[in-house]
A and B are shown apart, each in its own frame.
Chain A
Amino acid sequence: MIFMLAWKNVWRNKKRSLIILTAIALGLGCGLFASGTMYGMWDSTVNAAIDRDLSHIQIHSENFKKENLIGNYIPDGLELKPQIEKMNGVKAVSVRTIIEGMAASATSSSGVEIKGIIPDEEQRVTSVAANIKEGKYFEGLSRNPVVIGRELAKKLDLKLRSKIILSFQGPDGNIIYAAFRIAGIFETESSLFDKSNVFVRQQDLFSLIGSKPIVHEIAVRLTTVQIIDQVVNKLRNKYKDLSVETWQQLAPELSISYETLDFELNIFLGIILFALLFGITNTMLMSVVERMRELGVLMAVGMKRIKVFTLIIFETIMLSITGGIIGMILGALSIWITAQKGINLSLFAQGLSSYGISSHLFPTLPVSYYPVLFIMIIVTAVVSAVYPAIKAVRLNPATAIRMY
């Protein structure tokens, strides 16, 4: 009956309860939506980085990690590919030949990383092919096709089918110059990536450097990211001399931001609840002051102080939880609705792309946030209720009955 009495008391002054409920619901709803947007932004940034070039796991020779030299390739790298492909949980593998070099046009030049790939395989591991905005992915040109980013094309003032000169140091130390023709121009979420990477066919690169096929990087895409540690451990055990790294180790800045995001979002929601705490306290205080006589009567007829205290705490928790649940539904619903088509931030695309953030974000929030938030709401309610509840139990019943 205490529960029932508390619930009925919450609705005693409907207007006042609805005002604070709306404040709680909107505060939490908007807070959750903002959190979902931030989370979605980081989620898409991380996924975009994985899709763009990181993939889930990368394998290099230890020396290549120290210095990106053409000679620091993975011994028998091509032979590893079929072995890795056979492993459980591996979706696709791409072997890459990576050479630091320069890209030049008639008007300008720029430092780039030349990535020699097998186009069909790379397509299964990363999204460069899907991000081609002009031309085609290594199609339409039979000799030395190259795929470059929009930013690089802009910088070098190049168009589709334009000639581009790539220069780099060969295995013998001589500088090699080669003319390529632009088959496709890609555009990803990261302007930095688009400016500093060119993709060529591995076979063209091998004929230019005149060496046997060499591989500097093996990029591994998994069926699901959940098994990453398991696969990495297997790879490390199998290839003890090689460096096997997850995307988190390859891009620690992304990984750290992603991990601290949880903490930051909890702080963010905590601040909203802290502000709401004063509103809830005020509402409960009004409710207690209005009922001084009634509370006095309850104590006069034999209701223990601890029960009166509990009654006020229950009322506050019920009020807060009702608002909190509505807020969580509002937040979850707004996240779900906007996640269907995503939020288009193309107006700010330029600014976002310099940070590698997608201009089309899909709000999302892990389900684990909701129980944590629920507990935070209860804690807020209890803290809000303490002062009004103390005020209630300090009443002298004899005075309260006569004075109020």
Chain B
Amino acid sequence: MALIELFDLQKTYNEAKIPVYAVKGVNLKIEKGEFTAIVGPSGSGKTTLLNMIGGLDQPTEGKIVVDGTDISTYKPDELINFRLHHIGFVFQAYNLIPVLTAKENVEFIMLLQNLSKSEREERAKELLEAVGLGERMNSRPSELSGGQQQRVAVARSLASHPSFVLADEPTANLDSVTAEALLDLMEDLNSKFEMTFVFSTHDSKVIKRAHRVVTLEDGKIKSDEIRKVIVKNEG
């Protein structure tokens, strides 16, 4: 069984008046350990599809099964709980809590999971060391560069032991060198821990490294390219 399964997924906005069909019947399976990029022009339904996979939006029709659980009928509060335990998020604008330190930002997710203080501290330290920020644990986001903030965001996304990480344009705010370094890190996490990454992106650097590229157009899958060869880390 695949990690993420989408069955005839449809999303229509403004159904009663002038309906807008954002996603029109998408069928997709993403296996554990994949490094997948969902691409497509603006208005192709990329964001809507990603929101539904991430449990931030509900389909009008069809089914989303994540880790064997059908989340398409979940109520908003059930979805919040599901997101907390199954999905890690990395956003374009990092979106760290500015008043908390890097370590506290990572710990915060585990606090929501009611983990003990010692467990939280240990894992936050471990994750920040894994993303190369062992020395900056007590820095606030404003004291970190964009690349460093996004690394903290990656560490935060992994804090809850998620089934997969959803990364929405993670490199869009970074310069190319920093973006490459971040992708190195993600690739590393993918190969070491078999962590599944699903990207929504326009960035050629991400597309170049993806194991699989799903292209959307007008709410439908236009192409689904599975690459057998992974582009190697050159840095």
Among candidates B85, B95, B111, residue contacting A401 with C-beta atoms closer than 8 Å: B95
Closest Cβ–Cβ distance, residue A16 to chain B (whole Å)? 14
Known contacts A302-B81, A304-B81, A305-B77; decide if A5 and B89 are in contact (CB<8 Å): no
Q: Is B10 an interface residue (CB 8 A)?
A: no
Q: Is A234 an interface residue (CB 8 A)?
A: no
Q: Is B51 an interface residue (CB 8 A)?
A: yes
Q: Is A294 an interface residue (CB 8 A)?
A: yes
Among candidates B83, B93, B97, B99, residue contacting A300 with C-beta atoms closer than 8 Å: B83
Chain A, 293-312, CB within 8 A of any chain B CB: 293-294, 297-305, 307
Mark interface residues in A361-404 (1 if CB within 8 Å of B CB, else 0): 00000000000000000000000000000000000011001100
Inter-chain contacts of B81 with A (CB < 8 A):
302, 304
Inter-chain contacts of A9 with B (CB < 8 A):
99
Chain B, 59-104, CB within 8 A of any chain A CB: 76-77, 80-81, 83-85, 89, 91, 93, 95, 97-100, 104
Inter-chain contacts of A2 with B (CB < 8 A):
111
Inter-chain contacts of A297 with B (CB < 8 A):
89, 91, 95
* Complex: chain B residue closest to A402, CB-CB: B47
Chain A, 1-17, CB within 8 A of any chain B CB: 1-2, 5, 8-9, 11-12
- Of A9, A297, A305, A307, most buried by chain B (CB within 10 Å of CB) is A297
Q: Are B80 and A5 in contact (CB under 8 A)?
A: no
Q: Are A300 and B56 in contact (CB under 8 A)?
A: yes
Inter-chain contacts of B91 with A (CB < 8 A):
297, 401
Q: Are A302 and B47 in contact (CB under 8 A)?
A: no
Q: Are B57 and A302 in contact (CB under 8 A)?
A: no
Task: Report the separation of the CA atoms of residues A402 and B100 in the bound assembly, to the nearest whole angstrom.
Answer: 22
Q: Are B112 and A307 in contact (CB under 8 A)?
A: yes
Q: Is B149 an interface residue (CB 8 A)?
A: no
Chain A, 348-370, CB within 8 A of any chain B CB: none
Inter-chain contacts of A293 with B (CB < 8 A):
93, 95
Q: Which 9 interchain pairs have the tightest Cβ spacing?
A: A302-B84, A8-B99, A398-B56, A297-B95, A398-B51, A302-B83, A1-B111, A302-B112, A398-B57
Interface residues of B (CB under 8 A from A): 47, 51, 54, 56-57, 76-77, 80-81, 83-85, 89, 91, 93, 95, 97-100, 104, 107-109, 111-113, 156, 160
Question: What are some 17 contacts across the A-B interface (CB < 8 A)?
Answer: A1-B108, A5-B99, A5-B100, A9-B99, A12-B98, A294-B97, A300-B89, A301-B83, A301-B89, A301-B109, A302-B83, A303-B80, A304-B80, A304-B81, A307-B112, A398-B57, A401-B91
